[in-house]
A and B are shown apart, each in its own frame.
With several copies, the nearest count.
Chain A
């Protein structure tokens, strides 16, 4: 049964595990048992659910996209509105969960990696809220590109640490966060931002994101035929899919095809990658013939990651989830379309899921229904969108 994964070794089928330096093995074991304890603890769960409700704004609505549905003339389209969550994306669900766990474990210092800054902002936010110190590792190139989110983290009181190793992007920031953790694991909690990393991270992050799917199940008043979610590391997708894994509903994960999966510039890990180890986990990744990890590309910073959560690797291999990919241009079109049809400017990440759903919805019949997970809002992407859409493009 897919929902009972991972096994005790952190395996999802062939994938997952803990490929980390020995120094981290004990901290990971400590984390695992603390997590297991917490998830049995009524008080902990109550606190987690209260923060989600009274602080983060859950439940997020399920919005019926009536205009888009009519325009396409096919399946009914529902939108799960993670864009309305505090700080603007689903990332906070997980950050709250992990930060509460950190506190429960008596660790009042958190570290986090970030690419575009969304998880960094979410981490800085919960750190402020819960009174933890927070260091965010961010590639120097990303710091340059995401000036605004860097400022936001600092305003929230976090320390942003510039990472100059590698290409100065998310992969390198993650490496550096792990390195820092190795050196400081005794009193620091590493708050990973997606369902990646060594066991028990992928399971833990799924735990803290499954609220998306759980709510959706409760909110839908009719049968769902398909569910769409974009996949970077895979946390919003797993959060949405997990509660449906054993149901009769088609699940579709959408990767970033960047400039096209036949070019070198994409981030379509499952479509084009091969199994390997990255950031402590055996999964699919983008690499060369020598096993060196390759820098991915996507216009959306949140999907611009060379790996993917191990559970997705297994869902891909077992074909329980269908994975598709969407190019930059298709995603940008979907941003515009959703903005104009529904008055919702989605994150470019989320627009990948929307673009695929649009392609498919019109081929479906009117008595079918689909859900798209709108993982975040587009505010953070305005500079990118402004660069792309010329005046005519907006006519």
Chain B
């Protein structure tokens, strides 16, 4: 596999066994987001997917929908999420950050201004779940110019599209484990593994699998078969339960609880 020059601007320390957690910026508060991000880094996260809350998140299941609602109610926006990145850095986050956002907020921001803002704020990656290859030309160019990785996705339905998508993938290739929106899956479908194989054949970047990964068993399976795994809804749920713990104890206890649970989830 020929590697690209700027894999997350050199911040990606390995290309296998990548742990890529997803959190919603501002859920339930911007300050908390920084805390959780640091704990995830401590727990071995290799990339942070920082989700921007959206009113109509049509690729997301109920857990992330609710988190987005909480974050919106707390006043989060695309602009604020991007501007949170320097604060994350200041607090000690070193791993690459991928901004996850639906397309409409980007469009309102304006492509040029948005990409400039990503650059200024030191964002290494961008993932837009409702912007397929066919609609991404302009942003693809613009991100390339600024060494920002525009993450592509492949899905079980992609079939002949896999090759086309994989060949131009940057950063990592997001492999959607199965049909459906984000959210836990009890089991991974057996087809998932052969699907991953196929994707890997065509990809020049690490292949990370996401959608539904929610148990250590599944993590183990992905460690074996893919180059990385993305965990979203489950992490959001762990945040929810850490907030519960916080209620009956103090903040540190909540965060400790969060770290413990994350460690247990991703342990090798």
Contact = CB atoms under 8 A, between A and B. Distances in A.
Is there any pair of Cβ atoms, one from A and one from B, under 8 angstroms apart in the complex?
yes
Interface of A: 9, 17-27, 165-166, 171-172, 175, 178-179, 182-186, 274-280, 282, 285, 287, 289-293
Contacts, number: 123
Given A25-B158, A172-B56, A277-B102, 7 more contacts: A18-B135, A22-B133, A22-B152, A179-B58, A184-B180, A276-B104, A292-B55
Nearest to B160: A26
Interface string B106-123: 111100000000000000
Given A277-B103, A291-B109, A165 B65 contact: yes
B108 A19 contact: no
A184 B54 CA distance: 23
B94 interface: no
A278 B49 CA distance: 23
Contacts of B134: 9, 17-18, 25
A274 to B, nearest CB: 8
B54 A292 contact: yes
Contacts of B165: 22
Contacts of A292: 54-55, 72, 77, 105
Interface in B174-220: 176, 179-181
A43 B108 CA distance: 46
Contacts of B131: 19
Nearest to A21: B59
B44 interface: no
B54 A17 contact: no
A172 B69 CA distance: 13
B158 A275 contact: no
A186 B180 CA distance: 11
Q: Identify the interface centre among A175, A184, A292: most chain B CB within 10 Å of its CB.
A: A292
Interface in B68-112: 72, 77-79, 102-109
A293 B105 CA distance: 9
Given A19-B135, A178-B58, A183-B180, A26 B159 contact: yes
Contacts of A171: 56
B155 interface: yes
Interface in B128-171: 129-135, 152-159, 161, 165
Contacts of A291: 78, 104-109
A20 B77 contact: no
Interface residues of B, number: 43
Contacts of B106: 291
A351 to B, nearest CB: 29
A274 B79 CA distance: 19
Contacts of B135: 17-19
Interface of B: 54-62, 65, 72, 77-79, 102-109, 129-135, 152-159, 161, 165, 176, 179-181
A179 B180 CA distance: 7
A13 B29 CA distance: 41
Contacts of B181: 179, 182-183
Contacts of A25: 132-134, 155, 157-158, 161
Contacts of A282: 107
B109 A21 contact: no
Greatest chain A CB density within 10 A among B55, B135, B161, B181 is at B55
B154 A22 contact: yes
A175 B60 CA distance: 10
A186 B178 CA distance: 12
Contact of A183 (B72, B77, B152, B179): B179
A278 B56 CA distance: 8
A183 B182 CA distance: 10
Contacts of B105: 290-292
Contacts of A274: 108
A275 B110 CA distance: 11
Contacts of B153: 21-22
Contact of B130 (A21, A165, A179, A186): A21
Nearest to A176: B58
A20 B106 CA distance: 15
Given A26-B158, A179-B181, A278-B56, A18 B108 contact: no
